[in-house]
Structure 1
């Protein structure tokens, strides 16, 4: 499956927006297209140093999270539990 540069950039922007909205304090991430989904590799600061978490999300779902409240809210809930140790005080 071919991914355009524009689509990859939109996926990166959506991911960054979600991480910021979750209140992840310090992080590095990359988004890689896979067969029908995006693999989001997040390294984030935790109390003991750094932690690496790999998240998988449907291709269209990640892109839709930028505009659709229900999709965004669902991803925030899912990712929020996975990234709990990375979140600063007051994150969603």
Structure 2
């Protein structure tokens, strides 16, 4: 996964932001914040996770499908990605 290593700093920044959002959600629940504040925190964390997924998926598409010269490997990687999309859409 060359794209993971290449984009490591950017991806870790996203993960740390997500961790902060989840911590804020936990804090909101612990302190008894109103449900609207909790929902905002949930939406922010979900959006951040979705953005991370898209970032890694774009690298996967670029490096493991578009740039892959071997047809059999491209098909295998496409199958992995399709399975992932099905699980993600649930």
TM-score by length of 1: 0.29
- Name whichever structure is richer in helix by fraction: 2
TM-score by length of 2: 0.30
